[in-house]
Chain A
Amino acid sequence: MSRTNQALLLNAAERAAQRPEFLGWVLVKHMANCGIDSKALAASLRCTPDTMPRLFLCRRPRSEQFAQDIAFISARLSIDGGVLSRIVRQVESITAMTANMLPEVGTLLAARTRPESETSVDDRA
C-alpha cells in the first residue's frame, strides 16, 4: 500500500471511530475505558499496529450474527477473536447501562410546576 493510501486510511479510521456503526467507535471507547493506547490494544488483539486502521473501518458485528461476524473479522485480519468478542460485549454493556441511567434525568426535568396556561381540563374541573 502506498504512503498516501496509508495516510488516507488513517484519516478514514479516525472518522469511522466517531460513528457507532463501525468497530473503531467500539475500540476507541474501550481504549478510553481502560486507559490504553492503540499499540497496547494491538498487542492484546495479537496484531500489528498497522492492522488497527483496517480494523477500525470494519462494521460492528451484528447482534443476530455476532459469533459469525467476529469469526469472520478475526480470520480476515488475523486477530484474536476471543479478545475482540470480549471487548465488543464489554463496551456494549457499558453503553447500555449508561443509556439505561439517562431516563432518571428526564424524570427530574419533568417534575416541574406547570405554568397556568398548561393546566389541563381535569385540573380546572
Chain B
Amino acid sequence: MAARVTGADLGALHRRLVEGDPTASEEAARLLLEPLTSVTQRAFPRLDAQVIADAVVDALLEYFVGPERAQERGVEHIQAYLQRAAWRNAANQYRGSKRRKFREQNWLQQSDVPDVEVSSPLGTLIEEEDAQAQSAKEASLMSLLPDDSDRLILRLRLAGERSTEAFARALGVDNLTIHEQRKLVKQAKDRIDKFLRRHGSKTK
C-alpha cells in the first residue's frame, strides 16, 4: 500500500525543486511514484502495467525539469496536476498503440505468409521504417539550414538535448548569465523553427 503524501511534504519538495536542489527530484520520485501509479492504473484498468509506469514517470520527469509550470494553479494542486499529466501520457500511449496495431494488422492482411513467419520481418520492417524516416528527416532539416551554429542547435534538439547549458555552449554564450543564455537560446530555437516553417518543415 502506498504511503499517503501530505500537502506539506509536497509543498516542501516543490520549493526545493524550484530552487534547483538536485536531490529533490529523487526524493519526490520515491514519494510520488507508487501513489500516482496506483491512481493511474485504476483510471486505465486495461492498460499494460509498464505503459502506466512509463506514463507516470514521464509526467514526473517533466515536472522535475520544469516545476514552475505545475504551480500555476497553486502549490496545493500539484498532485492533481501530476495526475492529469500521467493520465494524458497514458491516453497518448493508448492511442499510439492502437495506431501501431492498425498498421501491423494492415500489413498482415496484405501478406500471404503465416503469422509466425511474418512476425519477425514485420518487426524489422517497422523498425527500419522508423529509422529511415528519422534519418531522412534529419538530413533534410540539416541541409535546409545555412548557418553552422543553427545546424548544431538543431542536431542537439534532434538528439533529445534539453538543457539550456548545452545549447548555450553550442552557441558560445555559456559565459553569460543564465537569464541571458535562456534568452539567446530561445531566440536561436525560434529562428530555426521560423526558418524551417518557411521552408515547409518543422523540428517536432
Name the segment of A9-17, A27-35, A41-49 touching the other chain. Answer: A9-17
Interface string of B167-180 (1 = CB under 8 A from A): 00110001000100
Whether a CB of chain A sits under 8 angstroms from the CB of B29 is yes
Contacts of B148 in A (CB 8 A): 103, 106-107
Structural contact, B34 and A59, CB atoms closer than 8 A: no
The complex places the Cα of A8 from the Cα of B54 at a distance, in Å, of 9
Whether a CB of chain A sits under 8 angstroms from the CB of B74 is no
Q: A95-B166, A102-B151, A107-B148 are in contact. Are A12 and B22 (CB under 8 A)?
A: no
Structural contact, B21 and A57, CB atoms closer than 8 A: no
Whether a CB of chain A sits under 8 angstroms from the CB of B109 is no
Whether a CB of chain B sits under 8 angstroms from the CB of A113 is no
Whether a CB of chain B sits under 8 angstroms from the CB of A69 is yes
**Count of chain A residues with Cβ under 8 Å from any Cβ of B?**
42
Interface residues of B (CB under 8 A from A): 2, 20-26, 29-30, 33-34, 37, 50, 53-54, 56-58, 60-61, 64-65, 142-143, 145-146, 148-149, 151-152, 155-156, 160-163, 165-166, 169-170, 174, 178
Structural contact, A57 and B166, CB atoms closer than 8 A: no
Chain A residue, CB-CB nearest to B155: A102
Structural contact, B149 and A103, CB atoms closer than 8 A: yes
The complex places the Cα of A57 from the Cα of B60 at a distance, in Å, of 11
Chain B residue, CB-CB nearest to A4: B34
Structural contact, A59 and B151, CB atoms closer than 8 A: no
> Closest Cβ of chain A: how far from B30's Cβ, in Å?
6
Whether a CB of chain B sits under 8 angstroms from the CB of A80 is no
The complex places the Cα of A16 from the Cα of B56 at a distance, in Å, of 12
Structural contact, A57 and B170, CB atoms closer than 8 A: no
Chain B residue, CB-CB nearest to A12: B57
